[in-house]
Structure 1
Amino acid sequence: MRFRDSLWDDSEPAYAPFLKYLKDRNSYLWRPSKKYLEAGYSIKTYKLGGSKGDGLDLERAAHCRALTREMLEWFDGEAIGRKAGTWGWLIGRYLSDEFSSFHDVLPQTQEKYRQMLGYIEQAIGNVLIEETDFERIMRWKKAMHDKGRSTHYVKKWFTHWRLIVSHGIKVGVDHCAKVKAIREEVRIQNPARRSRYATREQIEAIVAEADRMGRPHLALAILMRFEFILRGVDVHGQWVKDDTRQGGVRDGGQIWVDGVTWDMFDQHVTSFTKVISKTRKSLTEPYTFSLKYTPEIRQRLLLIPTDQRTGPVITMANGKPPKNGVLSRGFKEALRAVNKARAKAELDPFPDDLQIRDTRSGGITEAKSLVDPTTLQHAAQHTQGTTTAIYTRDRSGAANNVIQVRAKRG
């Protein structure tokens, strides 16, 4: 929001920023915009009193200007309770500034950013940016190692902190450019890549156990992730903070997004068409996934009564999509049951660290030796391989080719 000069010099007596009129109550209040509330400003609303036609409009306008000036002074000097020029203050700026890169990422990514930046703010929020040098950065790194933080955590911490440094440079915060130069000379070890993946044998056993547990939604989600090489969010969706978007499934201040819905399927449930959530900005064209080579998935879908084929496909007994983490926990529970049965049968157990996210990597690994790299890239909905992407148009065809080849092998 751009404020008029009269905010500061009172040259427009009727200028009343953030003034709200409640028609049903015939009363006035001052309410900051979302930007300042999300930055942590404590005054959510301020009752101004009076009613329409009482002749006090100029007094209320002056009061609004005074409240707005007070808020802006806080925002510039004490964002999220931190002194201006500290890392906590800059984190507040990053999360709330209108043109921050924070607003360019998907809602689910924003939630992850908020969580990690919360850890960073807690650790270094009171540290002045201008007092950040090589020695202090190394002490941060050492402190995390001394506390037993994993290599993955340390890398993630510094990656997110770099976003804050970058934003500081963009908005002209002194010393941030120097901090960036120092950070680039500090070696942060990359965590080892996860090598675990689910095999078809493991998937089949866990799906069968999910059925025995009376959790067909879990079985269907696992199969769709594995066979179509889809990320979990593109199958069963996720719950994010309700940002007042119209429509959709809502529950407890959250809205469900990104998953497969029944309106994506054709009339006879032989295929579904979907834009991939992670790459929707760079790969805007939808993928069409054929069910021709996955008869088990199609059969499971057809078992769902016609009158229930609205909204999200993967739903719980209450008719709503599973909350975040529910399917992951269900997968682990099914895995433990499978391994218990295998132990009784004197069979080697499956890896106990297997996770539901390993279903997608399992599908990719199975296909790796069966198709060429470019076909696999498109089937996996990856954006890398820009040269081949220029000449490739049928990404859906590539995806279905991979599914067909794997089906024949299975």
Structure 2
Amino acid sequence: MVYWQPPKKYRASGYKVGNTRLPGRADDGRDAERAARARELTLEMLNWARGDVEPRIAPGTWGWLIARYKADDVSPFRDLKPNSRDDYLFTLARWEAAIGAVLITDTNLVELKSWQRSMQQKGRSHSYIKRMFTMLRIVAGYGVALQAPGARAVKEIMGEMRIKGPKARKVSPTPEQIAAIVGKSDEAGDSAFSLGILLQWWLTLRAVDVRGQYLRMTPEEAATAKEEGGIIRGWFRWADGITWSMIDRDVTTLTKTPSKTEETAPDALEFDLVLVPDVRARLLSIPPEKRVGPVIVDRKGMPFNRYTWSDKFRAYRTEAGVPDDVWMMDTRAGAINHAKRAGASPILLQHAANHASLDTTNRYIREQNDSIAQVIRLRHEV
């Protein structure tokens, strides 16, 4: 049997809901359903702590503000995509455990720096520390909106702090490495993975915009999703990937709005598949009667999740003899750098990557040394 258990600090504060049995049993394939129920119980507990029943968490503490950020109907947390909410909850839980009882008004530069040093002493990475303080800054910003005492001062202090982030990645796959990985995938008969990686590479798309992703649903969203149809696994629905409805009958054009910019740039992008004959040939090889729903599916006809997708990349990368420091997430950067070497202008690179800012595109450029050498050669030609 599997149970949800409220943290000790809530029980100590007077929360009367104890261990609650979750649906099913361990290893029965109902993990998503249990996770959704656990989330409901957690939100009920947070609403209680916020004061909907009787305030037990002291108002003005970080625990109080974090609970408000997670539970308030007007919180920007509500506007996040389900996968982003899950990531936020993980980080928020760590802050809640560490500083939940600390008053916001007692938080000054000395305290903030001590938290940073504590993370460093525990061997936390620059990426981890940056992510944690970014989250705290977001929560403090919500505190400012609520006019919580001390929140504005904390946000201003954090605005002056410099939290070192992770070093920019310098690695991106070459065309030869991508070809080698696809070759090993083809040898394994994994045609869907080969097609997906080539779509990422030639169309400069994120993996999520090719294979899609499974997004967690609330009970209300689940009820609506069942009425609307689509691919549903427990409390998760599939979204954002390429579907056959985005490809014209002659398989010459793919029309898609990238998930990351669908709200800010709702106009769909058109990709000429005739310009990528290998990709088009692979699409045409799929029987017409199977050209329904998601394009990239496993042998059971279901879309991949992100973990399986990354695992496959690592396996074929190893078989192909490609260095371990080449990651699946680097495919997009590799495509941009490939285009740069081919002579594409900065504005062309920006448009191909569907970036709102050229500064974003520049963060994907990982061949600074090559650029320096090229500048030296050009200067010698003057």
Settle same-fold status: TM greater than 0.5.
yes
2:137 to 147, 158, 162: 162
Instruction: Describe the SS at the equivalent of 2:260.
Output: coil
Contact 2:50 2:68 in 1 (8 A): no
Deviations 1:59-116 (A, max 9, x none): xxxxxxxxx9x787346734xxx44322222122112222222233333322222222
Partner of 2:356: 383
Check the 8 A contact 1:273/1:286 in 2, yes or no: yes
Q: Does 1:365 align with 2:337?
A: yes
In the TM superposition, what are the counterparts of 1:390-405 in structure 2 within 5 Å? none
Letter in structure 1 aligned against 2:77: F
Q: Which residue of 243, 249, 253 corresponds with 1:261?
A: 243
5 Å-filtered alignment, 1:62-141, equals 73-74=51-52, 77-78=55-56, 82-141=57-116
Q: Is the 8 A contact 2:43 2:71 kept in 1?
A: no
DSSP-derived class of the 1:273 partner? strand
Partner residue in 2 for 1:353: 325
Secondary structure of the residue that 1:40 maps to in structure 2?
helix
Count of residues paired in the alignment: 314
Q: Does the C-alpha gap of structure 1 residues 109 and 320 become closer, same or farther in structure 2, counting only changes over 3 Å?
A: same
Corresponding residue SS for 2:347: helix
Equivalent pair of 1:39/1:95 in contact (CA under 8 Å): no
Q: 1:18-29 maps to which residues of 2 (within 5 A)?
A: none
Task: Quickly say closer, same or farther: Cα 1:217–1:153, change in 2 above 3 A.
Answer: same
Contact 2:69 2:139 in 1 (8 A): yes
Q: Distance in 2 between matches of 1:132 and 1:248?
A: 47
Using the TM superposition, give the Cα deviation of residue 220 of structure 1 relative to its aligned residue in structure 2, in angstroms: 1.2
Q: Cα–Cα, structure 1 residues 76 and 199, in superposed 2: closer, same or farther, change >3 Å? A: farther
Q: Distance in 2 between matches of 1:73 and 1:155?
A: 31
Letter of the 1:287 counterpart = L
Higher relative contact order (CA 8 A, sep 6+): 2
Greater C-alpha Rg: 1
The equivalent position to 2:261 in structure 1, one of 267, 275, 279, is 279
Please identify runs of 4+ aligned residues in structure 1 that moved more than 6 A.
Answer: none
Q: CA RMSD in A?
A: 2.3
Q: Is the 8 A contact 1:39 1:93 kept in 2?
A: no
**Map of 2:275 onto structure 1:** 293
Question: What's 2:178 paired with?
Answer: 203
Asked whether the equivalents of residues 346 and 358 of structure 2 are also in contact (C-alpha less than 8 Å), the reply is: no
Normalised by the size of structure 1, how large is the TM-score?
A: 0.72
* Cα distance, 1:37 vs structure 2: 4.4
Structure 2 residue identity aligned to 1:265: I
In the TM superposition, what is the alpha-carbon distance from 1:352 to its structure 2 partner? 1.0
Query: How big is each residue's C-alpha offset from its partner over 1:274-330, in whole Å with a ceiling of 9 and x where there is no partner?
Result: 111101122111001111111111111122221111111111111110122111011
Structure 2 CA distance, aligned partners of 1:42 and 1:98?
A: 15
Superposed CA deviations along residues 13-34 of structure 1, whole A, max 9, x for unmatched, are: xxxxxxxxxxxxxxxxxxxxx9
* Residue 292 (structure 2) aligns with: 310
Which letter maps to 1:361?
A
Cα distance in 2 for residues equivalent to 1:285 and 1:235: 18
Of residues 146, 149, 156, the one that matches 1:174 is: 149
Deviations 1:34-62 (A, max 9, x none): 9x94762149xxxxxxxxxxxxxxxxxxx
Structure 1 residue 273, shift from structure 2 partner:
0.4
Q: Supply the distance in 2 between the matched residues of 1:40 and 1:97 (Cα, whole angstroms).
A: 10
Instruction: Note closer, same or farther for the CA distance 1:298–1:75 as it changes in structure 2 (3 Å cut).
Output: farther
The equivalent of 2:229 in structure 1 is: 247
Aligned mates of 2:143, 2:40 — CA distance in 1: 21
> How far apart, CA to CA, are the structure 1 residues paired with 2:294 and 2:84?
21
Contiguous gaps of at least 5 residues in structure 2: 1-36, 360-382
Displacement after TM superposition at 1:194 (Å): 1.1
Identity %: 37
> Aligned to 1:272, what secondary structure does the other structure show?
strand
Task: Find the aligned partners of 2:205 and 2:254 in 1 and give their Cα distance.
Answer: 13
Q: Does 1:40 align with 2:22?
A: no
| Match for residue 204 of structure 2 among 229, 246, 251 | 229
Moved more, 114-123 or 280-289: 114-123
2: CA distance, partners of 1:124 / 1:199: 45
Q: Which amino acid aligns with 2:340?
A: K
177 and 273 in structure 1: CA distance in 2 versus 1, 3 angstrom threshold: same
1:191 aligns with 2:166: yes
Matched-pair contact (CA < 8 Å) for 1:197–1:358: yes
Match of 1:218, SS state, is: helix
TM value normalised by structure 2:
0.77
Which one-letter code corresponds to 1:155 in the other structure? Answer: K
Q: State the AA in 2 paired with 1:352.
A: D
